[in-house]
């Protein structure tokens, strides 16, 4: 069994953005006389950055365990997908076209579903490539049909989705 985590350095920026957004939202709410428009706008901003901060905390606490039998994540929420029960694999790229043109990367998000459970991982987690290779191998063994975007993203990373499944 191998255990992976999101590295602190990958989360620090998200924590800082969350704190800055909360500071601005709460700062305005506390310092400006409340009107319905101000409360709606800056209350919404505050709630959004609070949710973003909680999501970052969730990634900070999660431990992803990978075995030959499957993958599981334990943190605020626990979920597990057995490789033999894998029903769906999607891999999406999130970033701007400008980032792509400048050679800077956004991030990838891997979604796995099977056996009534689902799991979502971002590419900033340690060992993402290894996890992705194991998931792709399981998808081949299950003869899963991959959508064109997922297949293209896998091929872009050098993972041949048409290769015969091994073992």
Coil, strand or helix at 145:
coil
Residue-wise pLDDT for 69-92, tens only, equals: 999 999 888 899 999 999 999 999
Torsional sign, CA 91, 81, 6, 1: negative
User: Residue 121's closest CA among 66, 131, 39?
Assistant: 131
What would the pLDDT profile of 125-167 be if each residue is shown by its tens digit?
A: 999 999 999 999 999 999 898 999 999 889 888 887 665 555 4
Q: Nearest 5°: phi and psi at 83?
A: -60, -40
Coil/strand/helix, residue 130: helix
User: Do residues 91 and 154 lie in contact, with contact meaning Cβ atoms separated by under 8 Å?
Assistant: yes
For the cut 90, the answer to whether the pLDDT of residue 1 exceeds it is no
């Amino acid at each position: 069994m191998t255990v992976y985590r999101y590295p602190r350095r990958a989360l620090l920026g998200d924590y800082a953005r969350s704190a800055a957004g909360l500071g601005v939202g709460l700062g305005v709410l506390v310092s400006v006389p409340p009107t319905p428009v101000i409360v709606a706008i800056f209350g919404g901003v505050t709630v959004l950055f609070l949710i973003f901060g909680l999501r970052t905390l969730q990634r900070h606490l999660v431990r992803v365990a990978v075995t030959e039998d499957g993958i599981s994540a334990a943190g605020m929420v626990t979920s597990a997908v057995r490789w033999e029960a894998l029903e769906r694999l999607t891999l999406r790229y999130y970033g701007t076209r400008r980032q792509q043109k400048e050679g800077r990367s956004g991030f990838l998000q891997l979604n796995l579903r099977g056996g009534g459970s689902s799991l979502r991982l971002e590419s900033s987690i340690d060992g993402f490539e290894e996890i992705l290779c194991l998931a792709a191998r399981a998808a081949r063994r299950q003869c899963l049909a991959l959508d064109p975007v997922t297949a293209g993203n896998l091929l872009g990373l050098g993972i041949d989705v048409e290769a015969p499944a091994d073992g």
